[in-house]
Amino acid sequence: MKYSKKDRQKLLLETLDKNPFVTDENLASTFHVSVQTIRLDRMELSIPELRERIKSVAAHNFGEDVKSLPIDEVIGEIIDIDLDKQAISILDITHDHVFARNGIARGHHLFAQANSLAVAVINDDLALTRKSNLTFVKPVKVGDRVIAKAVVTSSDVEKNSTLIEVTSKVENETVFVGQFSMYRVTMS
């Protein structure tokens, strides 16, 4: 269906209000226009690009919740968090994250996303990784969006210990799994 510019921009605003994490590519497909048209519409409507929208939502919704590290030190963007239970972040893989010769993401970026999410989900002043067990399941490539979900599986307050499992997926396919044993302590 072809929309007039006015109707398309109105629908664009409604769509992004419901889901600020939609990519320009998905919007272009939805409205049957080019990515450039979506970018021009966003500029006219003063709508920031996806990365800025994500940062804004994360800072607004979770910035004060995360105690164990500053929100801007999380690798990827937190899109949901329930402290001491679970958290979700997204990381868009760019050319800076991959090996030049094959376009495959370097493992330390996937680890950093998972590890920082495991730290962020801890509801204490300090959280450090004691031990991790990692499995890289499938290569991640430039242009992929990695969605990592951290789930607290157990916690022992007397031992200042929490176990967290992080599963990272690209288009609903698991690409990375990590188990993190975390040391945690309240400083006050």
- 5-47 CATH choice from 3.30.2130.10, 1.10.10.10, 3.30.460.10, 1.10.287.110: 1.10.10.10
Instruction: Place domain 53-185 in its CATH homologous superfamily.
Output: Hotdog Thioesterase (3.10.129.10)
On the question of a common fold for 5-47 and 53-185, the answer reads no
Pick the more confident residue, 20 or 75. Answer: 75
Q: How is the chain split into domains, by residue range?
A: 5-47, 53-185
pLDDT tens track for 97-119: 999 999 999 999 999 999 999 99
| Residue 174 CB neighbour total at 10 angstroms | 12
Percent of the chain at pLDDT > 70 equals 87
pTM of the model as a whole: 0.68
For residue 170, what pLDDT band results from cuts at 50, 70 and 90?
very high
